[in-house]
Amino acid sequence: MKKLKETGSSLLIIILIAALGFVGGYWYHSQKTEAEAEVIDDTTPDVKLPGETEKRIVTIDEVETKLAEIGELSTYSGRYEVTKEADYSRYFLDDIKVPGTKNTVHFECEGIVKVGYNLEDIGVNIDNDSYTICISLPKATVNDNYVIWDTVKCVEDNNPLHPIEFDQYQTLIDEIEAEGLSQSEEKGIYTEAENHLKNIIINFLSGMDDYKVKFL
């Protein structure tokens, strides 16, 4: 009987020790898991929800610096063709040709007119509320106008006793270039130059986040 009591007491002690070990192991495991979770939470980066991203503000200086890179790209050229004939004979009383003084020149040629902009005259304003870059363009001006000499076809009837003088040729070239410019203007060279520059500006400023370009 005494042995049974001792055996029962020993079994009860073993059960209590096992129970305490189980509870202690469970508590330790729970604490460790919570600690690991806290470490993970501390190292997890903040995630910004859509609409919370802060947009970069574009400045006027930044836009002007970008526009300064355009340079020669702002130039637009047009090609023209001119046929012109000049009579350099001598006349008496303005309408009677003096015999033996006949001098005529027939010119056919092509030329180039180049128009462009002074980039310092381009106005820039920025509306950061509507994310709009406002650009005002000056008028295009003629940068160059010249005859392409490889295209010149010239037929002369030049009297050796009354030859055509150099300044008369120069005057003729000036008249051809002026006529070529008029042709180019009639074909809308200034409008084409403006559209050309607008496309260049839009391309150069396309990387400025969500800003749109508006021409005034």
pLDDT of residue 167: 85
Evaluate if residue 1 carries a pLDDT over 60.
Answer: no
Strands of 212-215's sheet, edge to edge? Answer: 123-127, 132-136, 212-215
pLDDT of residue 113: 97
Mean pLDDT of the chain: 78
Evaluate if residue 107 carries a pLDDT over 80.
Answer: yes
The residue among 112 and 71 whose pLDDT is bigger is 112
Region 8-14: mean pLDDT is 54
Report whether 12 contacts 6 (CB < 8 A): no
The residue among 56 and 4 whose pLDDT is bigger is 56
